[in-house]
Copies of this chain bind each other. A is one copy, B any other.
């Protein structure tokens, strides 16, 4: 007997496929409005593409193997290395800024937990060759407009934004020693998931001054005005000014809607390669994992041996988003019912039904009928079961019943 799919892999029966198609169609439509164009790369890549960016420790999470030609290969765990490779290969020929999106299926050998998948689809939206914060604002606005296209509002979802450079300057202004900054990032990244006392203890151990501990533990609440005045006379002042532009640009791109953004310096994001503004979208209830995350990674292409293009992007997976949409009653799977079901009186030959099907299909209608000669009552039962939108019955005198 057949076993099922591998653990962590999904079968998409028509119902699940229609939900996936709804999500992807919405992603594609909003990306198009923002003038992003679609690309794709191979789902299997040289293993080195991933170890070069993430180090050898990534291998433990990969579906990697040696192919029949002796090559070390891996199923793609993320899209950034592929798109970086593709952009680098045509860095001179491509019109800048490069505005690309893709919806790859990605694979990670995650330790198995309930509901944890080993594959998912992820919208990747990236801009290459744009150094200014207007590009960061475009990306965030695009992510928010995707939420709006799904029917989600700022009462449902919040965009937490931060900036790596501002966070660093803020920590320095609090007297955090330079050599402790990286460790402090780690503590900040865990603030939401561990008791304040534990975080405080760790900060003490890192050599953070006593009067800075409280401020770091509550760093998520720092307001922009406070940051702005605190850093006004530091070397970070221009970065703060850029961030102010960013905070103004995003609402401009949302038609004046100022309700989505929240400055939150506790957004560190695990990935080591971010260099500027970073952001994450969360449901306001805090029930789900991050819906979307991204930011600026200006040095990544160069560090991978590619071109020197500034770069920024975000990823949005189909799994958390799907859970949220279902929870909010906003999942609207594509309608897969046929437009027409054609039945015919017992003395009407099958050919007649087929010619009528051909006529309707040529008009773009979807048509189903019984694939064998059957009594009218059997046909009608099948027609009802199909859920088709319109029922047509052909009779032998040429009329439709």
Interface residues of A, Cβ cutoff 8 Å to B = 1-7, 9-14, 17-18, 20-21, 32-35, 37-46, 48-49, 60, 63, 65-69, 71, 73, 75, 84-86, 88-90, 95, 97, 99-100, 105, 107, 109, 119, 127, 130-132, 134-135, 137-138, 141, 145, 248-249, 252-256, 304-306, 336, 338, 350-351, 354-355, 357-359, 361-362, 364-368, 371-372, 385-386
Contact = CB atoms under 8 A, between A and B. Distances in A.
A124 to B, nearest CB: 13
B252 A351 contact: yes
A372 to B, nearest CB: 4
A75 B107 CA distance: 12
A310 to B, nearest CB: 11
Contacts of A100: 14
B34 A132 contact: no
Closest 9 A-B residue pairs measured CB to CB? Answer: A65-B65, A9-B42, A252-B354, A35-B368, A12-B40, A132-B372, A35-B338, A255-B358, A134-B371
Given A6-B45, A366-B35, A249 B11 contact: no
Contacts of A39: 11-14, 17
A2 B355 contact: no
Contacts of A255: 355, 358-359, 362
Nearest to A33: B361
Contact of A40 (B17, B60, B68): B17
**What copy number does this chain have within its complex?**
2
Given A85-B2, A358-B253, A38 B14 contact: yes
A2 B84 contact: yes
A18 B38 contact: yes
Contact of A252 (B84, B131, B145, B358): B358
9 contacts: A6-B44, A11-B42, A35-B338, A75-B75, A95-B385, A95-B386, A138-B371, A252-B358, A255-B359
Contacts of A304: 2
A358 B119 CA distance: 34
Contact of A350 (B2, B10, B134, B350): B134
Nearest to A112: B69
B67 A44 contact: no
Contacts of A248: 351
Nearest to A10: B42
Contacts of A88: 1-2
Contacts of A372: 130-132, 134
